[in-house]
């Protein structure tokens, strides 16, 4: 028999759909996903690709309010939805919503194993606030087990005295084939694609929200420190939106305005073109639970310059093999890494090929196998 699994998660994120589809196809899993909301329009501009969903799901009624830096989301019908779904295991994406605590309490009352899907890591600057840490530890003590995307998240749980036997790795993934295929198509007609988007012949690429914690100001400062010849030959493209954009554009105008391009938010089907035509991806973040743009860029065959603060750093980037790792907030180290790779396009090509090879092991199918191992549904039958 299949093991009945309910996943409770916030919104219908486009990058999660391929993972849930793969899990729904696992012979040992009977999957149903409960979303707390369809999307978060104030924070994300993602499209909701409902036509791609191949798993059973429902969206709860919700009320959302942003209070300063905090996101308050309240739901109706959590207990009723869980009772109707009749799970044998519950997997909850995070502890920071009222619904997460409701699901935990429901699971304990009904003696249903409750797993936390945790992406926090030891480098995350958001740690350290006593009330938050107290609540997190209280939540963790009541969980049956934990699913993490990689080594940094597993190490973080160990610092909270979680035993290794309770930690299962389901490697964070995107639809590699989608990005690989789309990038290959773009490269077949690279010059036309570049002209249509007014992109430089060569460029460094940043993808993400334009906010200070992503290291975007350090990125501009590092670009300004490159020698003039490099800045004339290699541009800087930023794909994303955010509150810092006006300040960034003002700063860029004093550096190399013709070589720095702000593309705005790019949907999934548009991103592949930016990846395909770039020399490398740069993510100088101060804090990031993982950094799925790194998966996407690697699937498109790019080398990566990555902050060690990113949750994926320990798993996805091997120093001098498929990229370079830098300390967060370190402009000089970032500039040196950019200068090094910009001067060696052949090395970039080799690193990009290594990226594509390495990321093939981080697929939706591998993620689904990790989840199946966690909940004891490796095969299609149980004793």
Cβ distance 363 to 173 under 8 Å? yes
> How many helices (H) does the chain have, and how many strands (E)?
16, 15
Task: For residue 359, give the 3-state DSSP assignment.
Answer: helix
**What is the layout of strands, in order, in the sheet containing 304-307?**
260-264, 235-239, 203-207, 280-283, 304-307, 323-326
CATH of 3-173+363-374, one of 3.40.50.2000, 3.10.50.40, 3.40.50.720, 3.10.20.600: 3.40.50.2000
- Distance from C-alpha of 364 to C-alpha of 369, rounded to nearest angstrom: 9
3-173+363-374 and 176-359 share one fold: yes
Confidence (pLDDT) at 346: 96
Task: For residue 215, give the 3-state DSSP assignment.
Answer: coil
Confidence (pLDDT) at 72: 86
- By the 10 Å C-beta count (0-12 exposed, 13-18 middle, 19+ buried), 229 is classed as exposed
- Residue 88 DSSP one-character state: S
Mean pLDDT in residue range 135-162: 95
**In the chain, domain spans:** 3-173+363-374, 176-359
- What CATH number does the domain located at 176-359 have? 3.40.50.2000
Cβ distance 218 to 336 under 8 Å? no
Q: Which helix (H) or strand (E) is 76 found in, with range?
A: strand 70-76
155-209 confidence digits (pLDDT tens)? 999 999 999 999 999 999 999 999 999 999 999 999 999 999 999 999 999 999 9
260-302 confidence digits (pLDDT tens)? 999 999 998 899 999 999 999 999 999 999 999 999 999 999 9
Confidence (pLDDT) at 382: 38
pTM score, whole prediction: 0.94
Confidence (pLDDT) at 47: 84
């Amino acid at each position: 028999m299949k093991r009945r699994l309910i996943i409770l998660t916030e919104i219908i994120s486009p990058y999660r759909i391929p993972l849930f589809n793969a899990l729904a196809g696992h012979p040992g899993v009977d999957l149903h996903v409960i979303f707390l909301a369809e999307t978060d329009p104030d924070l994300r501009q993602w499209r909701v690709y409902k036509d791609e969903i191949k798993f059973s799901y429902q969206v709860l009624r919700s009320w959302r309010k942003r209070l300063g830096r905090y996101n308050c989301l309240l739901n109706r019908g959590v207990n009723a939805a869980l009772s109707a779904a009749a799970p044998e295991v519950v997997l909850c994406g995070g502890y920071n919503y009222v619904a997460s605590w409701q699901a935990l309490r429901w699971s304990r009352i009904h003696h249903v194993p409750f797993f936390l899907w945790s992406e926090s890591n030891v480098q995350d600057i958001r740690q350290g606030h006593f009330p938050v840490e107290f609540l997190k530890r209280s939540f963790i003590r009541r969980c049956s087990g934990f699913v993490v995307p990689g080594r940094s998240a597993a190490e973080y749980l160990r610092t909270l005295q979680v035993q290794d036997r309770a930690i299962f790795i389901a490697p964070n993934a995107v639809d590699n084939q989608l990005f690989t295929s789309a990038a290959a198509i773009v490269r077949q007609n690279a010059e036309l694609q570049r002209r249509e988007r007014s992109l430089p012949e060569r460029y460094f690429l940043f993808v993400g929200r334009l906010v200070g914690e992503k290291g975007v100001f350090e990125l501009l400062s590092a670009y300004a420190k490159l020698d003039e010849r490099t800045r004339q030959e290699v541009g800087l493209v930023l794909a994303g939106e955010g509150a810092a954009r006006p300040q960034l554009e003002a700063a860029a105008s004093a550096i190399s305005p013709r070589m720095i391009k702000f593309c705005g938010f790019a949907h999934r089907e548009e991103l592949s073109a930016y990846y395909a035509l770039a020399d490398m991806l740069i993510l100088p973040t101060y804090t990031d639970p993982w950094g799925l743009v790194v998966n996407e860029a690697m699937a498109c065959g790019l080398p990566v310059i990555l902050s060690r603060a990113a949750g994926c750093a320990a798993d996805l980037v091997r120093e001098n093999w498929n990229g370079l790792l830098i300390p967060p907030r370190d402009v000089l180290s970032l500039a040196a890494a950019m200068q090094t790779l910009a001067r060696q396009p052949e090395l970039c090509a080799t690193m990009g090929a290594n990226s594509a090879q390495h990321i093939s092991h981080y697929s939706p199918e591998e993620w689904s196998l990790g989840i199946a191992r966690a909940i004891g549904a490796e095969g299609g039958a149980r004793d």
